[in-house]
Structure 1
Amino acid sequence: MLKIKVKIYQELTTQELYDLLQLRSEVFVVEQDCVYQDIDGKDQNALHVLGYKNEKLVAYTRVFKPGDYFKEASIGRVVVRASERQHQYGYEIMKASVEAIKTHFNVTTIKISAQTYLKRFYNTLEFFEVGEEYLEDGIPHIGMLKH
């Protein structure tokens, strides 16, 4: 079971910010071999959902209120440390993120830009495909909505 923290950018400690950027870089840049601008100027407007196991950050997302990223509320930068993926932490961090959107923004419609190979994972969380597949940073993605 993860220990979840939800914080706005200004509440993040320097160590928390370092840890979340390190985890995102470890997975999205190094593991997925994708050169892209992760530090995109959007973190300052996001709610950060951090999942800890034994005081170590192992799962993370950032969420946005409607209009900040998509027209709908959104969840992005969904990441679980490779060594921890067998524990189903992806489900835990996503459920915590959906709950954070309900609690902080009082909405239930959520849009994500999902890596296509994770479509079934997101389907189990009641996100469903909208539109056509597209490339984002060289990786196939699909838009998905949850109502």
Structure 2
Amino acid sequence: MNWKALDFEQITARELYLILRARSAVFVVEQSRVHLDPDGRDETSVHVFAVEDISRSMPVIAYARLHAGGAAAEVVVDKILTSPLRRCDGTAHALIERVIAAAGERWPGRSVRLLAPLDLRGFYEAFGFRKNEGPFDERGVHTIGMVRKSRLSMCLGAYLERTYRMDAGCIDTVEEI
């Protein structure tokens, strides 16, 4: 298995074709989600994926797309998939670990946000994601929004909390003369 985390410009034409083919196989064919998959975000995203034997017709076994979330200072992860042949074998776990690492490298200090099927909540919580919205119906699937705070933002938050508590406990002892 060969893992890659590439900007759009770094992806070869063959890799792009295989990524789009895998996304269509999972989202359009398997999950019956009729939609325009190339949505204009691919060109500004980081693409994390694993391939096995590139000469096969469906070598992309795991994939996720990461892009800046705009004003919220978040990284958005979407188009998350694993090949049906590689589910429940640790591939999805390896994908999310690589997604978190890529987000931290590219956008240090930002939270990571994704939408997850409700039945995968526990899977994502194992990586530090926490539910922040939902559940709601997303094309027939009960879905929740989840966020994972970055270690940097968690450390900064803890520091500010400690500092605030210490300042709140201080008493001004300056006397007027």
Shared fold per TM-score greater than 0.5: yes
Partner residue of 2:90?
88
TM-score of the two chains, using structure 1 as the length reference? 0.90
SS in structure 1 of the partner of residue 33 of structure 2:
coil
Q: Which residue of 2 aligns with 1:113?
A: 115
- Residues in 1 aligned to 2:41 and 2:140: alpha-carbon distance in whole angstroms: 21
Distance in 1 of aligned mates of 2:137 and 2:45: 23
Q: Higher strand share goes to which structure?
A: 1
CA distance in 1, matches of 2:64, 2:144: 18
Correspondent of 1:74 among 54, 73, 76: 76
Q: Which runs of 5+ in 1 are unaligned?
A: none
2:49 corresponds to 1:47? no
Looking at structure 2, the residues matched to 76 and 143 of structure 1 have their Cα atoms a distance apart, in angstroms, of 11
Where does the alignment leave 5 or more consecutive residues of structure 2 unmatched?
Answer: 150-177
Percent of paired sites with the same residue: 26
Q: Could you say what secondary structure the match of 1:86 adopts?
A: coil
Q: Following the alignment from structure 1 to structure 2, what is the Cα–Cα distance between the partners of residues 95 and 25?
A: 24
Separation (CA, whole Å) in 2 of partners of 1:113 and 1:86: 20
State the alpha-carbon separation in 1 of the partners of residues 29 and 109 from structure 2: 34
| 8 A Cα contact 1:65 1:101, kept in partner | no
CA–CA separation in structure 1 for the residues paired with 2:74 and 2:107? 11
Residue equivalent to 1:30: 29
CA distance in 2, matches of 1:34, 1:111: 21
- C-alpha separation in 1, matches of 2:109 and 2:47: 17
Contact 2:73 2:111 in 1 (8 A): no
- Which residue of 2 is the match for residue 21 of structure 1? 20
Q: Does 1:58 align with 2:61?
A: yes
**Helix, strand or coil: the match of 2:87?**
helix
Question: Could you tell me which amino acid in structure 2 is paired with residue 116 of structure 1?
Answer: L
Deviation at 1:10, TM superposition (A): 1.1
RMSD: 1.6
Identify the residue that residue 173 of structure 2 maps to in structure 1.
Answer: none
Contact 1:113 1:142 survives alignment (8 Å): yes
Q: Is the 8 A contact 2:114 2:147 kept in 1?
A: yes
Check conservation: 1:108, 1:146, Cα contact below 8 A.
no
User: 8 Å contact 1:72–1:110 — kept in the other structure?
Assistant: yes
Structure 2 equivalent of residue 100 of structure 1: 102
- Count residues in correspondence: 145
Residues of 1 paired with 2:61 and 2:140: CA distance?
A: 25
Shift of 1:108: 4.4
**Higher relative contact order, structure no. (Cα contacts within 8 Å, ≥ 6 residues apart):** 1
Structure 1 outlier segments of 4+, above 6 Å: none
- Structure 1 SS opposite 2:115: strand
